[in-house]
Structure 1
């Protein structure tokens, strides 16, 4: 009977949840180079153009793609 109870506990996850995981030791330092607001703006604009512009083009011309033979 005890083996059945142990298997039920494993299946229910009580044994898995009782494990204590060690805390990750993540450290960070100050940045070596400071990024200016202008550089951030340029980076965001480039990301906008490369990701959203092609998607917008496809959605704007969706009817053309549907009727193409």
Structure 2
């Protein structure tokens, strides 16, 4: 029983102490080397909208098929 309590206490004490290593994010604050043009921006936003709205549009277009209980 004391082995179990020792295991639990060491694991919880490590969790309560927090991480020993300080993590730093790699954030770059310089502007982009090549600015994006309007065509690249429109293509990127279009693909992003398609990825978000495409599956829900597919479900709504085929809702009658999903309602059937075969």
Q: TM-score, normalised by structure 2?
A: 0.51
Instruction: Report 1 or 2 for greater relative contact order, CA contacts < 8 Å, sequence distance ≥ 6.
Output: 1
* Alignment coverage as a number of residue pairs: 67
Pairwise mapping of residues 2-21 of structure 1 onto structure 2 (< 5 A)? none
**Secondary structure class of the residue paired with 2:49:** helix
Please show how residues 14-33 of structure 1 align to structure 2 within 5 Å.
28=28, 29-33=30-34
Structure 1: gaps (5+ residues): 1-26
Q: What is the RMSD of the two structures over their aligned residues, measured on CA atoms?
A: 3.5
> Which sections of structure 2, spanning at least 5 residues, go unmatched?
1-26
Runs of 4+ more than 3 Å apart: none
